[in-house]
Amino acid sequence: MGALRVARDLLRPFIDGPLEYRLRRYANRIVPPVHLSGAPHLFHACAWKTGSQWVRLILSDPRVLRHCGHAPFIWAHLRDLPNHKDTYLRTQRSLLLTCYVKPEDVFALRDQPMRGVFVIRDPRVLLASWISSVRYTHRPNTGVMAHRAAMSEMSETGAYQYATHAFVTEFKPLLEAWLCTRSETCVARFEDLTGMESFQAWKSIFLHLEIDIPDGVLASVLQTYRIDALSVRNPDSKADKYALRGQRRLSELVDIPEPIERLAKAYGYPARQ
């Protein structure tokens, strides 16, 4: 699994997210970078259910940071902790991670041009994954619990219809907005990042971000965070976040809304068989 990942997993119970990224930024300051990316401010934006935590771990790995010289920040920390946003805005070279927002929310943070990646996944599969997560697996929060309460007395069909409408309402504007930013943003498909040609897909991201990372270093980073090494506690449980290891069969879906089919086509996904 790699010494870095083992150490991180051992320390996780004692280090919360904000502290983890303060430590990453501190290490970034004291260890001179091997290279500097040509773009001063980078970002990782994403739709929900696109391996966002896995992607951010790869992009903020110390070996990657040494080849770009950027200080890593998490979007949610900027949103919830004012001192983190102040620090981010004072930082001359920044990498903003896991931005679950529209492009204008990201670009408004900086006067300088920003360069980044938006990670998408087949919107039809996103729909299935989102419904399962909202109903069963996602940790409780205000939005999730509101949806669960609304579906609690519904039949399976009624709950599916409710969740489908909620998904279209929440995600269609986000996915449409990122389609219009291809000059600044590399659109990366989750399926490509985890598929047979994953190395080349990741290499395309780093080329777009102007991060000059050697192939051997990149291969080592990807090996550390292999997505197929995620632990599965109970493969048959709907309550297990990683039970299907990010995979959903399109045959499980029925009555895909037409706007979602259009978005799948716009992002280059083939029509359902």
User: Does 253 fall in a domain?
Assistant: yes
Supply the range of the domain harboring residue 24.
Answer: 3-266
Is-contact 261 124, C-beta < 8 A? yes
Q: What is the CATH number of the domain that holds 86?
A: 3.40.50.300
**How many other β-carbons are positioned within 10 Å of the β-carbon of residue 17?**
12
Residue whose C-alpha is closest to residue 118's, from 40, 43, 198:
43
pLDDT of residue 220: 95
Write out pLDDT tens, residues 149-190.
888 888 888 888 888 999 999 999 999 999 988 778 999 999
The whole-number average pLDDT for the span 208-234 is 84
Q: How far is CA 170 from the centre of its chain?
A: 17
User: Does 196 fall in a domain?
Assistant: yes
Is-contact 230 245, C-beta < 8 A? yes
User: Does 272 fall in a domain?
Assistant: no
User: Does 12 fall in a domain?
Assistant: yes
Distance CA 222, CA 217 (A): 9
pLDDT of residue 59: 96
Residue type, 209: L
pLDDT of residue 233: 45
User: Does 75 fall in a domain?
Assistant: yes
Q: Is the pLDDT of residue 238 over 60?
A: no
**How many other β-carbons are positioned within 10 Å of the β-carbon of residue 24?**
17
50: DSSP letter: S
User: Does 178 fall in a domain?
Assistant: yes
User: Does 122 fall in a domain?
Assistant: yes
pLDDT of residue 244: 43
> Higher model confidence: residue 244 or residue 24?
24
- Banded model confidence at residue 245, pLDDT cuts 50, 70, 90: very low
Highest mean pLDDT among 63-67, 125-129, 156-160, 247-251: 63-67
Coil, strand or helix at 271: coil
User: Does 273 fall in a domain?
Assistant: no
Mean pLDDT, all residues of the chain: 84
Number of domains present in the structure of the chain: 1
Highest mean pLDDT among 137-141, 150-154, 245-249: 150-154
Q: Is the pLDDT of residue 237 over 50?
A: no
- Banded model confidence at residue 60, pLDDT cuts 50, 70, 90: very high
